[in-house]
Amino acid sequence: MQPDLEQIIMNRRSIRAYTQARVDRATIERICKAARQAPSGANLQPGAFHILTGEALSALTDKLLQAADRGEPEDAEYSYFPTPMPPGLKDRQRKAGYALYDSLGITRRDIAGRRAQFARNYAFFDAPVGIVVTIDRGMGKGCFMDLGMALMSFLLAAEASGLGATGIGALANYSRLVHAHLNLPETELVVCGIALGHPDRAAPVNQFRTEREPLESFTSFRGFDVDDA
Ligand SMILES: Cc1cc2nc3c(=O)[nH]c(=O)nc-3n(C[C@H](O)[C@H](O)[C@H](O)COP(=O)(O)O)c2cc1C
């Protein structure tokens, strides 16, 4: 029996270690179609998924890893996060980072260890499938919201297919490199990557869970009877 949607939503987590079992193209196509089923303002369906595997993926990851290793300056074309990061959000960011590094036994002072783990982003965490997500540069903020919904549908469809995935915003740190390597039209902006594959369920990095803020902190209810809940 298929698990219900809420269970799929609650089970999904970012996967950062994979087995090398291949993912067949038909499954990826099904997941991409589910992503495209997301609603979008005026049904513009913004965004594109460039799906890489095998040598097509390793040629890109080799370049990215070499660039990071050489300390090449990053060439991000958009800012993912607010700058500067407000203190309350900085706290959430730190918590997520500590949960990740703690799961790997990387201490807070282990700068080399943290750098090495960060470089895993550029290897798409050794997933058998890496996806470069782009959007037309001319799109407005609302269209980024639409693409976010498509990404969520992608992640949930992956989970429902027994696969694991994670978004990789870090890919946009070298967006020009990725853009040039894939020979993308100038109209496309690299937004993020996605790693996709069969989760290595025993890997320590896949064991931790991130926390969420309590309901009261991000909702307000008005006009309800007190005992509606
Ligand atoms: C668009 C997007 C980009 C992300 N970029 C990265 C990234 O570059 N590196 C990383 O390790 N995790 C990345 N993540 C995963 C988030 O850190 C993760 O979703 C968050 O901490 C919540 O954890 P969970 O996905 O396990 O629930 C990204 C997630 C999304 C949706």
* pLDDT values of the chain reduced to their tens digit, one per residue, 229 residues: 456 999 999 999 999 999 999 999 999 999 999 999 999 999 999 999 999 999 999 999 999 999 999 999 999 999 999 999 999 999 999 999 999 999 999 999 999 999 999 999 999 999 999 999 999 999 999 999 999 999 999 999 999 999 999 999 999 999 999 999 999 999 999 999 999 999 999 999 999 999 999 999 999 999 998 766 5
Compute the distance between CA of residue 7 and CA of residue 10 in angstroms, rounded to an integer: 5
- Please give all residues whose beta carbon lies within 6 A of any atom in ligand 1, as ranges: 13-14, 16, 96, 121, 151, 166-170, 192, 210
Q: Distance between CA atoms of 89 and 106, rounded to whole angstroms?
A: 22
Q: What is the pTM of this model?
A: 0.96
Cβ–Cβ under 8 Å, residues 166 and 195: yes
Provide the CA 142 distance to its chain's centre, in angstroms: 19
192 DSSP β-pair partners: 133
Ligand 1 pocket test target in 64, 79, 106, 168 with most atoms within 8 Å of CB? 168
Given a contact cutoff of 8 angstroms between Cβ atoms, the answer to whether 181 and 134 are in contact is no
Query: What's the rounded Cα separation, in Å, for the pair 56 and 54?
Result: 6
Domain spanning 21-82+123-204, CATH class? alpha beta
